[in-house]
Amino acid sequence: MQLKDMSRQWWKEGVVYQIYPRSFQDSNGDGIGDLRGIIQRLDYIASLGVDIVWLNPIYKSPNYDNGYDISDYRDIMDDFGTMSDFEEMLAGFHARGIKVVMDLVVNHSSSEHEWFKASRSSRDNPYRDYYHWWPAEKGTPPERWSYFDEQGSAWAFDEQTNAYYLHYFDKTQPDLNWENPKVRQEIFDMMHYWFKKGIDGFRMDVITFISKHDGYPEFEGVHGDKMIDVYASGPRLHQYLHEMNREVLQHYDIMTVAEGPGTNLENIHDLVDEDREELNMNYHFEHVELGLDARKIVNDDHKDLVKFKKIMSAWATAFDEKGWGTQWHTNHDFPRQVTWFGDDSPEHREQSSKLLSTFLLTMRGTPYYYMGDEIGMTNAKFESIEDYNDLMTINWYNLTVAEGGDAQKLLESHKLSGRDNARTPFQWDSTTNAGFSEGTPWLKVTGNYTDINVAAQEGDPDSPLNFFRKLTKLRKDNLTLVYGAYNLLLPDDKYIYAYTRSLDDDVILVVLNYSSEEQVVQLPEASAQCEVLINNYQALEKTANDYKLAPWQAVVLRLE
Ligand code: GLC
Ligand code: CA
């Protein structure tokens, strides 16, 4: 690949850092992270060398799903502060050269949104068609699966008007009716409102679900979470996104990224290719769902490196000609990277977390890096259902109990896969509550915070934190790591993930030992001569092109 052929964009070259505001820093002792907490930590965020911050939803919300149930799209959640706090925070990021991307949650609103209150009040209310209703006199509506519902159904019966409303998520999250042009106009106006305030983009929550199939047909033989693919193939999805692009997005220098359940290598180009004029990027779930069965019951596949490499390689090369990809391991919905993909035992935690960060920052596609991974935070692994806050784990637990299923098995699996694992308070130091809050945190702090925290790692040049800082700089200094072609080596090796990135005459080799044992491996002739760019061990043992790699060793080399 040649640099001159690349369409260069800031959102391709930047590193995204995701902040879950509820768990980042509490500034007033109520146990809940907030915007003033983020303001206090701006210098820390800038010190990481990240370029773009994505904030999970901070809009007004009754918080049944922690802000993914919005009751007012144009105001700030009481727990998080005020609009003037927001403006101060935004200016603070911009002053440090960091862009700010907000969450856009418009597949559904909260059931406490004024639109829904009006919509459910009577069948002839002007807001009735803002949501999807099925009148009860037509009988029971066709089966639709819900992610969070305690009974599993996406239709909730509402007595007031003798009708069912649609909710792909919790019953407090009714789906907005995009078929109604007034709904689209409201959403587009609201997007302009935030862009005019100066934000730099949107991460679009389950945006692939916005178009529903006309008349709610039965999907023969499609049940449960298999419906995700059907939900993502609504007939007017691309029409709506193109309209959004024309009406809103193309008027600003901003970035967009779809959260894309149901996206795959066959359909992704329709969403992100430039000539489609829809969105810039998408994130898929193929790699993080490896090892997850229904209700996030875990199987061993998440440790299968050969399968993982196959998925990552297909996505890393999918955008060589058109479109652009993303890379991520963890977010507020998925477990901590070191627990899921690495080894979180005290012996291997630090090295494996550095290896995983090396992977994300040397792959083709914009890295989306989750807060706390830079210090190697681990899963919380709650023992009891009482410790959980997340409605997903709680509702699935209750559903399993009601079915007479194995609730203990679900609980065991959720120690590995549950969403609350990545939502525990950020670990700043070894004082009470990890320096997150002077009050009682809304979710328990993970027990290992006295060992794993920012203060302990700041002064140590070899800490995961300082290693992450070196990686952001390495990516910035080497456009080969951004735009260079990706080429997988040793596809069948069960322990080693090795690949090259090449741009113009420059070739960078990445070698990662995904195991807690030493591995010996032979790499291409060309690697006999090379310059080490980064290494999570002091030394690299090699003779010519034979490499002896220590457990979880990660090295990046420039070939000469
Ligand atoms: C997305 C969010 C998740 C939320 C859901 C419903 O998957 O990432 O946290 O619960 O959408 O909005
Ligand atoms: Ca607070």
- Residue 145's DSSP bridge partners are 153
Which pLDDT score, from 0 to 100, does residue 439 have?
Answer: 98
Q: Which of 49, 43, 136 is nearest to 92 (CA)?
A: 43
For residue 434, what are the CA distances in angstroms to 21, 156, 291, 378, 451?
16, 41, 31, 14, 10
Q: Count CB neighbours of 432 within 10 A.
A: 12
User: Which DSSP symbol is given to 438?
Assistant: S
Which pLDDT score, from 0 to 100, does residue 525 have?
Answer: 78
Residue type, 95: A
Residue 449 lies in a domain: yes
Residue 206 in contact with ligand 1 by CB distance below 6 A = yes
Cα separation, 328 vs 203, whole angstroms: 14
- Residue 165's DSSP bridge partners are 133, 156
Which pLDDT score, from 0 to 100, does residue 366 have?
Answer: 98
Q: Whose CA is nearest to atom 4 of ligand 1?
A: 68
- The residue to mutate among 169, 171, 389, 419, having the most atoms of ligand 1 within 8 angstroms of its beta carbon, is 169
Which pLDDT score, from 0 to 100, does residue 80 have?
Answer: 98
Residue type, 40: Q
Which pLDDT score, from 0 to 100, does residue 527 have?
Answer: 80
- The residue to mutate among 101, 206, 420, having the most atoms of ligand 1 within 8 angstroms of its beta carbon, is 206
Do 18 and 161 belong to one domain? no
Residue 240 lies in a domain: no
Q: Which of 423, 559, 437 is nearest to 489 (CA)?
A: 559
Residue 228 lies in a domain: no
Residue type, 184: R
Do 15 and 72 belong to one domain? yes
Residue 250 lies in a domain: no
Which pLDDT score, from 0 to 100, does residue 526 have?
Answer: 78
Do 192 and 57 belong to one domain? yes
Last residue of a domain, one of 471, 495, 525: 471
Contact 535, 505 (CB under 8 A): no
Do 547 and 426 belong to one domain? no
Residue 230 lies in a domain: no
Do 462 and 514 belong to one domain? no
Which pLDDT score, from 0 to 100, does residue 333 have?
Answer: 98
Residue 160 lies in a domain: yes
336: CB partners within 8 A, 6+ apart: 330, 344, 372, 373, 377, 378, 379, 421, 422
**Cα(475) to centroid of ligand 1, in Å?**
30
| 556 alpha-carbon distance from chain centroid | 25
Assign 19 to helix, strand or coil.
strand
553: CB partners within 8 A, 6+ apart: 351, 355, 511, 512, 513, 535, 536, 537, 540
Cα separation, 358 vs 532, whole angstroms: 14
300: CB partners within 8 A, 6+ apart: 291
Residue 308 in contact with ligand 1 by CB distance below 6 A = no
**Cα(63) to centroid of ligand 2, in Å?**
14
- The residue to mutate among 65, 148, 284, having the most atoms of ligand 1 within 8 angstroms of its beta carbon, is 65
Total tally of structural domains belonging to the chain: 3
User: Which DSSP symbol is given to 381?
Assistant: -
- pTM recorded for the entire structure: 0.98
Do 101 and 53 belong to one domain? yes
Residue 23 lies in a domain: yes
Beta strand segments in 209-274, E = 255-259
Do 119 and 185 belong to one domain? no
Instruction: Output the domain CATH number for residue 537.
Output: 2.60.40.1180
Do 415 and 510 belong to one domain? no
Range of the domain at 551: 485-559
Q: Count CB neighbours of 238 within 10 A.
A: 16
Residue 238 lies in a domain: no
Cα separation, 205 vs 105, whole angstroms: 5
Q: Count CB neighbours of 398 within 10 A.
A: 15
**Cα(5) to centroid of ligand 1, in Å?**
37
**Cα(189) to centroid of ligand 2, in Å?**
30
User: What torsion do the CA atoms of 6, 12, 15, 17 make, to the nearest 10 degrees?
Assistant: -170
Which pLDDT score, from 0 to 100, does residue 528 have?
Answer: 83
Do 150 and 280 belong to one domain? no
User: Which DSSP symbol is given to 237?
Assistant: H
Instruction: Output the domain CATH number for residue 118.
Output: 3.90.400.10
Last residue of a domain, one of 440, 471, 502: 471
- Residue 11's DSSP bridge partners are none
Q: Count CB neighbours of 492 within 10 A.
A: 8
Using only C-alpha atoms, the chain has a radius of gyration, in whole angstroms, of 23
Which pLDDT score, from 0 to 100, does residue 191 have?
Answer: 99
Which pLDDT score, from 0 to 100, does residue 529 have?
Answer: 85
Do 99 and 119 belong to one domain? no
Which pLDDT score, from 0 to 100, does residue 502 have?
Answer: 97
Which active-site residues does the annotation give?
Answer: 205, 259
What is the pairing mode between strands 281-283 and 255-259? parallel
pLDDT tens, the chain, 560 aa long: 999 999 999 999 999 999 999 999 999 999 999 999 999 999 999 999 999 999 999 999 999 999 999 999 999 999 999 999 999 999 999 999 999 999 999 999 999 999 999 999 999 999 999 999 999 999 999 999 999 998 999 999 999 999 999 999 999 999 999 999 999 999 999 999 999 999 999 999 999 999 999 999 999 999 999 999 999 999 999 999 999 999 999 999 999 999 999 999 999 999 999 999 999 999 999 999 999 999 999 999 999 999 999 999 999 999 999 999 999 999 999 999 999 999 999 999 999 999 999 999 999 999 999 999 999 999 999 999 999 999 999 999 999 999 999 999 999 999 999 999 999 999 999 999 999 999 999 999 999 999 999 999 999 999 999 999 999 999 999 999 999 999 999 999 999 999 999 999 999 999 999 999 999 999 987 788 899 999 999 999 999 899 999 999 999 999 98
Instruction: Output the domain CATH number for residue 428.
Output: 3.20.20.80
Do 457 and 497 belong to one domain? no
Pair of tokens at residue 547: 């490499």
Q: Whose CA is nearest to atom 12 of ligand 1?
A: 68
Do 103 and 120 belong to one domain? no
Q: Which residues of 128-161 are buried (b: 16+ CB within 10 A; e: fewer)?
A: bebbbbbeeeeeebebbbbbbbbebbbbbebeeb
Nearest ligand by distance to the CA of 288: 1
